[in-house]
């Protein structure tokens, strides 16, 4: 089913727009529900069957494709985490559908223009129900929120984002982490190991140009996109806005470098177009956003002044000293 684009809204009655939105949401709900009802082998059989019919033709192509898809994914099962995330998406879609139906039934079809204070007060926005430290730090952000994270080198930007990506992927959906600055390096591998962010809902890419990133997002469905960093890719605020417009289901988290005086590098539009701004300074994250009052959170223990622990030619050098005992158990990263 085609996605409702912004240009499609022009020239349509508002009631027609709501009707199309309702139809699209119901279609998405049916697709997600089928993933819980039918195992991956049957889903794959249906998809390969359609391909077989297209390329081979007729009933024979349908059967050949369906059998191929079935046996490729035979025995595969969805993980408990996948079931949990799909369940949350289904609940969110049902909530959206209920909201749209209420607006249609009440005659409140205005998408743009005037809204009464009572309508605005009662409007039910689609949001992520964060818990624990993330709720205390950010609140409950609206779906497709925009966040900017910035700080000096080694302040903990990537460390914070890895922790955040782990939380999002474990609870709310698929994450794409664009590691343009680090690439597929050992430091990135170490961070994945340290924060346990290696799961089926986290994906990495090392693209360093705008167009390949744009094409990747068009062809795939991600709920959260981290861009590390916009300065390295030299992506503009206008290009970030284009990505948001083309991927309305996704939240975007852009990582930026900081100047020596502690301000973010790049145009001020980056900050103006964000819902949440997070500054990382010596292992502490400071949040200023639309969904929660100003707050701070420890990313890692602040670095203390280096302590002399020995010399290379010392006879009593203890090579068996653990990393934890020496205080070097943590890669602070970027």
pLDDT tens-place string over residues 267-303: 778 888 899 999 999 899 999 999 999 999 999 876 6
Q: How confident is the model at residue 309 (pLDDT cuts 50, 70, 90)?
A: very low
Lowest mean pLDDT among 68-82, 180-194, 310-324: 310-324
Q: What is the pLDDT of residue 132?
A: 95
Torsion over CA: 130, 165, 6, 239 (sign): positive
With a cut of 60, say whether residue 43 has pLDDT above it: no
Q: How confident is the model at residue 9 (pLDDT cuts 50, 70, 90)?
A: very low
Q: What is the pLDDT of residue 110?
A: 47
DSSP class of 316? T
With a cut of 90, say whether residue 183 has pLDDT above it: no
Beta strands in 146-185 (DSSP E): 146-151, 175-179
Q: How many CB atoms are located within 10 Å of the residue 317 CB?
A: 12
With a cut of 60, say whether residue 329 has pLDDT above it: no
Q: How confident is the model at residue 332 (pLDDT cuts 50, 70, 90)?
A: very low
More confident residue, 153 or 58: 153
Query: Nearest 5 degrees, angle CA 143-CA 243-CA 129?
Result: 10
Domains of the chain and any CATH numbers: 6-122 (no CATH), 132-298 (3.40.50.300)
pTM (2 d.p.)? 0.61
Q: What is the pLDDT of residue 59?
A: 62
Q: What is the pLDDT of residue 85?
A: 78
């Amino acid at each position: 089913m085609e996605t409702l684009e912004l240009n499609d809204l022009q020239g349509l009655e508002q009631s027609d727009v709501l009707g199309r939105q309702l139809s699209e949401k119901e279609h998405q709900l049916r697709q997600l529900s089928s993933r819980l009802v039918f195992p991956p082998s049957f889903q794959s059989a249906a998809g390969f069957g359609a391909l077989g019919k297209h390329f081979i033709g007729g009933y024979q192509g349908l059967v050949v494709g369906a059998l191929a898809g079935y046996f490729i994914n035979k025995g595969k099962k969805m993980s408990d985490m996948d079931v949990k995330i799909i369940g949350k998406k289904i609940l969110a879609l049902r909530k959206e559908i209920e909201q749209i139906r209420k607006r249609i039934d009440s005659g409140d079809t205005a998408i743009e223009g005037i809204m009464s204070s009572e309508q605005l007060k009662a409007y039910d926005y689609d949001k992520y129900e964060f818990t624990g430290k993330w709720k205390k730090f950010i609140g409950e952000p609206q779906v497709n929120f925009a966040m900017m994270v910035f700080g000096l080198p080694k302040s903990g930007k990537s460390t914070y984002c890895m922790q955040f990506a782990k939380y999002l992927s474990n609870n709310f959906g698929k994450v794409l982490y664009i590691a343009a600055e680090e690439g597929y390096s050992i430091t990135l591998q170490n961070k994945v190991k340290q924060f346990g962010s290696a799961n089926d809902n986290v994906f990495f890419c090392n693209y360093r140009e705008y167009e390949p990133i744009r094409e990747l997002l068009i062809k795939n469905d991600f709920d959260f996109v981290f861009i590390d960093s916009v300065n390295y890719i030299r992506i503009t605020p206008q290009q970030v806005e284009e990505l948001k417009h083309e991927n309305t289901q996704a939240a975007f988290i852009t990582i930026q470098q900081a100047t020596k005086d502690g301000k973010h590098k790049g145009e001020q539009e980056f900050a103006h177009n964000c819902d949440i701004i997070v500054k990382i300074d010596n292992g502490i994250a400071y949040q200023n956003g639309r969904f929660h009052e100003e707050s701070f959170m420890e990313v890692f223990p602040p670095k203390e002044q280096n302590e002399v622990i020995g010399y290379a030619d010392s006879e009593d050098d203890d090579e068996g000293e653990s990393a934890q005992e020496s205080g070097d158990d943590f890669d602070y990263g970027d």
